[in-house]
Amino acid sequence: MMGSRILAIGVVTFGLALGAARAQDAADPAIRATIQTQMDALARDDAAGAYEMAAPGIKAMFTDPTMFMAMVKNQYTPVYRHRSADFGPAEASDDAITQSVTIVDESGIVWTALYRLAKQPDGQWRITACFLTKTPATDS
């Protein structure tokens, strides 16, 4: 009985430590820096700089910075050109982080961008996806 109680305490302690590690990863300033670096590159029309922040899976779909930039301009205009971007909460899940960013586009429409990032073998965070939705309050 005593052994199972110690095991249960160990499992709970491990679970709390794992949860704290995930919360710490989600709060990692490198997550925000990766996204901000890409957004800054987009603002300068620096295709190579923006492309650098993309994960290998994205780079496999868009094999050079020019193709990547064309996709962003066409499909992610609010990200490409925006008035403001405010970082919201981040959530950790398994091997990835999802970072919420509230974006106000050039027309004043508010969007939510959910950036998904994964840590690469070299320890760098890279963007694996961005899901962009118009906030319900701004739908017309």
Cα–Cα nearest to 82, from 134, 35, 42, 124? 42
Structural domain containing residue 124: 2-138
Phi, psi of 105 (to 5 degrees): -80, 180
CA atoms within 13 A on the CB side of 9: 6
* Mean pLDDT, residues 98-123 taken together: 97
Residue 26 pLDDT level (bands cut at 50, 70, 90): low
Give the pTM: 0.78
Q: Give per-residue pLDDT as tens, 50-106.
A: 999 999 999 999 999 999 999 999 999 999 999 999 999 999 988 899 999 999 999
Return the CATH number at 52: 3.10.450.630
The distance from CA 104 to its chain's CA centroid, rounded to whole angstroms, is: 17
Residue 27 pLDDT level (bands cut at 50, 70, 90): low
DSSP string computed for 30-88? HHHHHHHHHHHHHHTT-HHHHHHTB-HHHHHHS-SHHHHHHHHHHH-HHHHSEEEEEEE
> Could you say which DSSP state residue 28 is in?
-
Cα–Cα nearest to 51, from 70, 77, 24, 75? 70
Query: Domain tally for the chain?
Result: 1
